[in-house]
Structure 1
Amino acid sequence: MAVKPDRAKVLQKLKVTDAAFRGLTRAAAIAVLVILGGIIVSLIHGSSLALGQFGFSFLWTESWNPVTGNFGALAPIYGTIVTSIIAMAIAVPIGLFISLFLTELCPMVLRRPIGIAIELLAGIPSIIYGIWGLFIFAPFLQTTLQPFLIDVFGNIPLLNSLFAGPPYGIGMLTSGLVLAIMVLPFITSISRDVFEAVPPVLKEAAYGVGCTTWEVVRYVVLPYARVGVIGGVMLGLGRALGETMAVTFVIGNAHRISGSILAPGTTISATIANEFTEAVEDIYTSSLIALGLILFAITFIVLALARYMLMRVQRKAGA
């Protein structure tokens, strides 16, 4: 006859296990904060020399001259923002359309192969994207898309300056297109998952009252999944802001600001990757670390705005 375990011992064991679990999870959360704080402190300490010498003018100075020791972050900041805007302007609508096609219109036999193909794009190393962009994509754009844009918008005010200059192949537009391809899997995968989480009964009810597929998507699917979609978009934007190797290959690495998106430029991450090994002077190294601090601040602001948008959306939904 089996002996029943003592109830007090079982409860004591469960209490110890629960306390250990709480302690481990709390330690993991604290470790994240400690690591984040350490990164911030190290960035501030490393960039203190440059920020102390140049002050806030470091943010709006375009000059970047290692010979004279004169550094400014405006050109890398401009390139980072422009390439990210181009990437998101292309990747967000395409990613949403692909997700809607996979969840609402795609035949069942094709959903899995297409979904796997999209997810495989996320597993390709960024340096592979850079090599492909430099040797295949950039020459293709140089002979096709860029001359077409120059001819079409050459006589239109404002747009002619946006698409001005010779077709170099490399440049901010090329960098933005490569970034769009890189962030597309993240936006598509997350959007597809949140679209699939929409209760089928809601869509069936909409179809039952005579709604078309577009009306179901517009009035049922997108409102229900908008929080997840915004999260996926912000995840893709964070990837676009911090991407290094692929951008370094195709942006041209020119420290200047141009009104044309066809012109070469640079980004914060590309500048750091290109020049950190060459920084032999303290002010040079400190300026590069200051660029890293600025990129950290930009990413933090973007994520904070994303959280604020999500809070407003959730509050409206609750109201």
Structure 2
Amino acid sequence: MLTEAEILALSLAAGQPQTFKLTQTFWRHRYQVDPQSWLVNFERAGLLRLTVSSELSLQQKTVAELKRLLQAHDLKVSGRKAVLIARLQTALTAAELTAYFPQTFYQLTPTGAELVAQNHYVRWIHDHYVAGIVDFAAAKRANLPKNLDLVATLTWLLDAAQVQADSDWPQYYYIEHLRFQFAWQNQLVGTALNAVLDCIRLKLAGLSQAEEKTVASLDLATTAYKVEPFYTYILQRIMQDYSLEVTDIMAAFAQRCQLLQVPRQLFSDHEMQQLLHWTLTDQRQLIQQCYRQKQKQLREASA
């Protein structure tokens, strides 16, 4: 039975040229393993084999190289890379392609392909790795099922990490930001919107950082406790792409504020609503006044 790191190595080797080596730094730093002998072991175990593959060779060629070969055979050179490759594969025989492209590549055997397919979560965790949250130890701790799709796998791990975070609100915020990133990457706009609004609530509640709140930490130009420009951009993109109004975003934010209960707040729910509305309507002067008023309150409280 292979370890998760070995299954990952098998997955990464598939489709690579014979010169490929498992020498990447993450093997030592992230997984604490030395995989130098693994490729040979995989071949001996019947999981990996070396074969000549003209198709993989073509995929690795640049467009300019493909066009030169097409010109040499008096073939059209217009089109995207996939079109150029298909044209060569149609015009040349298998023997001719092998003669032009004799390179040898690692390919999974049926047994190796089945093993990788049964453990697809291994590659997903590697590709989306976040120490302590999306890694093999976290998956084991969370009893991650192996039959989930990518989105469900990441959701499972993030949910488990948030439960573990308990009252560590900066960590909770960090996980929610990851939830937004993963959802946005996978075009899950509703999930991404909810996560962004939760991040904004945690920011304005003063819970995204563990530091003590001071007058200096509430300077609008540098404060961590504001609607970040990046979040504003995302909200504007969603509004534009899905024909939403500011009122739609505000209604969604009010709902998220009800669902996400926090132990303390730098800004009240009403102030949060105002700040988000002013941000989306570009009323910077009102935002500045709100932060100056909050700074004044802190001065008076500490006097």
Q: Normalization by structure 1: what TM-score?
A: 0.23
Normalised TM-score (structure 2): 0.24
| Higher RCO (C-alpha under 8 Å, 6+ residues apart) | 1
